[in-house]
Structure 1
Amino acid sequence: MLVRIVKMGYYKQNIEVFLENFENTKSQIRGFEGCQFLELYRDKKDPTIFFTYSHWESEEALENYRKSELFKRVWSKIKPLFSMRPEAWSVDKLETLE
Structure 2
Amino acid sequence: MLVRFVKMEFHPEHIAEFIALFDGVKEKIRAVEGCEFLELLQGTEASNIFFTHSYWEDAQALEAYRHSALFKTTWAKTKPLFNAKPEAWSVEKFVSLP
Structure-2-length-normalised TM-score:
0.98
Which residue is equivalent to 2:77? 77
Which residue is equivalent to 1:7? 7
Q: CA deviation at 1:95?
A: 1.8
Which residue is equivalent to 2:64? 64
Which residue is equivalent to 1:95? 95
The amino acid of 1:83's aligned partner reads: N
Q: Which runs of 5+ in 1 are unaligned?
A: none
Q: Which runs of 5+ in 2 are unaligned?
A: none
SS at match of 1:51: strand
SS at match of 1:94: coil
* Alpha-carbon distance in 2 for matches of 1:17, 1:64: 26
Which residue is equivalent to 1:18? 18
Name the Cα RMSD after superposition: 0.5
Structure-1-length-normalised TM-score:
0.98
* Alpha-carbon distance in 1 for matches of 2:4, 2:21: 19
The amino acid of 2:30's aligned partner reads: R
* Alpha-carbon distance in 2 for matches of 1:96, 1:31: 24
Which residue is equivalent to 1:48? 48
SS at match of 1:38: strand
The amino acid of 1:86's aligned partner reads: P
The amino acid of 1:93's aligned partner reads: K
